[in-house]
């Protein structure tokens, strides 16, 4: 390091201590008192200006995006990790996480885990291999990159998709986020837990968000979550977060069209014709209902 005030990336925040990554070095810093007085929070992913001599963070750059849950900023890609079994495939949560990423201009990448359990299940699960394949093919057809953990070059594919970007893993507990990250970088040894059989979901194992070097970029594990809310949306932004709806909205009779009660709606016609996955549309309607209830209070 040559001098102070070096612009770098914040990769970890625990108990008021912030780890800054700069040119392969890790520097633990404290925030300047000014942040506390302004009630500002520095977030993992921030580009920060810090004083090397005093180990003090002075300021941070304007953010490209700013997430509340998980608490991070400037994320380029979000790997949405969802298991097909144990816990069961939750398309409602998958669609809600995709909406959140789309709304924040973060590119979603879908990761299906525990494929091996499904393939060797002898039909004991609520989803069949054929149903999983249909779902996977649909999300791929509307433009999302898909990673499946049964792929032979899984790690290489994830590293390639990370590229030189700052990325984060999202998904409910127990779907395999930490396990995946440990496979990518065996030195991490991130704690994992078994699924709670009584609850049907995983125990929370990651208590904070942290970015780890992956190839030329960063990939962060984040606390598991299963209850995202839509309070930051508008009704229009919610409809546009379903990318296949947005792409065909110009074909609807009314502008804007929210694809619920409007006549001559192209999206509803596509649902009837089987060109839109029925679960996607049902989830969208549920989100609209949830959104309207939030706006009442």
pLDDT band with cut points at 50, 70 and 90 for residue 7: low
Phi–psi pair at 267, nearest 5 degrees: -65, -45
Q: Are 78 and 70 in contact (CB under 8 A)?
A: no
CB atoms within 10 A of CB 84: 27
Residue 220 makes CB contacts below 8 A (sequence gap 6+) with 11, 44, 45, 70, 72, 75, 166, 167, 168, 169, 209, 210, 211, 212
pLDDT score for 187: 52
Lowest-confidence pick of 23-27, 37-41, 129-133: 37-41
- Report the mean per-residue pLDDT for the chain: 85
Q: What angle do CA 168, 171, 176 make, to 5 degrees?
A: 95
Q: 3-state DSSP call for residue 67? A: strand
Whether residue 214 is predicted with pLDDT greater than 50 in this model: the reply is yes
Give residue for tokens 């502008």.
Answer: 255
In angstroms, the Cα distances linking 121 to 57, 116, 124, 126, 127 are 52, 8, 6, 10, 10
Q: How does pLDDT run across 112-140, given as a tens digit for each residue?
A: 999 999 998 777 888 999 999 999 999 99
pLDDT band with cut points at 50, 70 and 90 for residue 200: very low
Q: What angle do CA 145, 284, 95 make, to 5 degrees?
A: 30
Residue 213 makes CB contacts below 8 A (sequence gap 6+) with 21, 185
Cross-strand bridge partners of residue 147:
111
Q: Are 18 and 28 in contact (CB under 8 A)?
A: yes
Q: What percent of the chain has pLDDT over 90?
A: 57
Whether residue 20 is predicted with pLDDT greater than 80 in this model: the reply is yes
- Can you tell me the distance from the alpha carbon of 50 to that of 185, in angstroms, rounded to the nearest whole number? 28
Q: SS3 breakdown of the chain: % helix, strand, coil, rounded to 5?
A: 30, 25, 45
pTM given for the model: 0.85
Give residue for tokens 């396990």.
Answer: 179
In angstroms, the Cα distances linking 183 to 155, 159, 189 are 7, 11, 9
Q: Are 110 and 146 in contact (CB under 8 A)?
A: yes
* Angle formed by the axes of helices 91-103 and 278-296, nearest 10°: 60
């Amino acid at each position: 390091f040559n001098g102070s005030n070096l612009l770098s990336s914040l990769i970890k925040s625990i108990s008021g201590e912030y780890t800054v990554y700069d040119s392969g070095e890790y520097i633990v810093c404290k925030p300047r008192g000014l942040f506390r007085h302004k009630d500002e929070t520095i977030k993992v992913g921030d580009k920060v200006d810090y004083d090397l001599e005093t180990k003090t963070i002075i300021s941070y750059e304007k953010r490209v995006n700013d997430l509340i849950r998980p608490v991070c900023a400037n994320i380029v890609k979000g790997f949405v990790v969802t298991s097909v079994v144990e816990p069961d495939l939750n398309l409602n949560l998958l669609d809600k996480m995709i909406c959140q990423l789309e709304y924040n201009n973060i590119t979603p990448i879908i990761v299906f885990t525990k494929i091996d359990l499904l393939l060797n299940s002898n039909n004991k699960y609520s989803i069949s291999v054929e149903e999983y394949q249909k779902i996977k093919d649909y999300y791929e057809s509307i433009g999302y990159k898909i990673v499946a953990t049964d792929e032979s070059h899984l790690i290489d594919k994830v590293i390639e998709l990370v590229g030189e970007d700052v990325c984060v893993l999202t998904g409910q507990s127990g779907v395999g986020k930490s396990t995946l990250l440990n496979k990518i970088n065996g030195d991490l040894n991130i704690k994992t837990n078994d699924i709670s059989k009584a609850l049907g979901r995983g125990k929370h194992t990651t208590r904070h968000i942290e970015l780890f070097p992956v190839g030329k970029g960063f990939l962060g594990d984040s606390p598991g979550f299963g209850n995202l809310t839509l309070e930051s949306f508008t009704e229009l932004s919610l409809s546009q977060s379903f990318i296949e709806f947005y792409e065909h909205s110009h074909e609807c009779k009314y502008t804007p069209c929210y694809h619920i009660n409007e006549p001559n709606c192209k999206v509803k016609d596509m649902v009837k014709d089987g060109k839109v996955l029925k679960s996607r549309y049902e989830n969208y309607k549920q989100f609209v209902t949830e959104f309207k209830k939030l706006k009442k209070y």
